[in-house]
Amino acid sequence: MRSERGSCEAITGAGFVRAEIPGTAGQGGPSSPPCTGDWAALRPASTSHGPVLHAVLERRTALVRSSASRTSRGQVLAANIDTVVVTVPLGSPLKHGRTERMLALAWESGAQPVVVLTKADQCADVQLAVAEVSEVAPGADVVVTSAVTGLGLATLRTVLNGTIVLLGPSGAGKSTLGNQLLGEDRLATGAVRDVDGKGRHTTAWRELVPLPGGGVLLDTPGLRSIGLHDAQDGLEQTFAEIEHLAQNCRFTDCAHVSEPGCAVRAAVTAGTVPQRRLDSYRQLLRENAYAASRTDAQLRAEREAAKKDITRHLRATYQFRERRQ
């Protein structure tokens, strides 16, 4: 399924159809905003209009980030995915903080992350890059690839499974990698700027494309903003070594700042955990906690608004009855 404003494109037993998205979608009705990868129920076409989205089925997995509008609601980037390919370009300096953010989203989705280092032909020390990225990606396979030389593509195909989503910043080589997996130049690609290594959004929307060897590929536009949304479990898996060390801290609520008996701080002092890694962990925890507090505040506001509506309705009913008497 590919979703656009007011309509979506879906594949059915009769082929591709375009269905209208009703205005109640996402407002607590039987429909919720559809996303690429969703399974949905459609009302058949009638003489007056075409097919209409009736309901979005419960998602098995979902890749969710904080809304770009900075509201308390999350934005679903992809649904019912099995593998999240986190693309990290080797043609520019590594940004481990960004990789950790994407991994937290990937783990939280319920899918299996795979870190793919693209553009290996532009890297002077691939082994060093692999070692650095492997340290920030515990539990995830790290595969080195090059679309120019074909390096690592066969290996990558062996670790991908089911519905695959490509995640990463603009210019990371997602669409080029996708074309290699598809065996054809189907996804639009563009050059990156020499000044900062950044690219433009060549992918304008998310859509599902069948892979020749089985499975489905979902290409996404490059993400400039990767805000966390209710990603506590994803953070725990992304920073698994810190979570493991924290079990040996003297205090169960240790913040790993200056508390006595902090096993995490001891590991930083000993050099087994980089200070940058701990700083990133604490920063993302704070960001996630703030996002959760905004969500709770939104829910409280919605409940209060509903109570006020009921009260106004009852008051109007009583006043109407009194006037009739």
Mind listing the pLDDT tens digit for each residue in 127-145?
A: 999 999 999 999 999 999 9
**Which tops the pLDDT comparison, 308 or 75?**
75
Q: Which of 180, 124, 99, 109 is nearest to 147 (CA)?
A: 180
Name residues whose C-beta falls within 8 Å of residue 26's C-beta, 6 or more positions apart in sequence: 32, 33
What's the pLDDT at 1?
A: 60
What's the pLDDT at 283?
A: 95
**Which tops the pLDDT comparison, 133 or 34?**
133
pLDDT at residue 285 greater than cutoff 90: yes
Q: What is the mean pLDDT of residues 111-121?
A: 97
Q: What is the mean pLDDT of residues 52-79?
A: 82
Q: What is the DSSP secondary-structure string of 289-317?
A: HHHHHHHHHHHHHHHHHHHHHHHHHHHHH
**pTM of this prediction?**
0.81
**Average pLDDT taken over every residue of the chain:** 85
| CA 36 to chain CA mean position, Å | 12
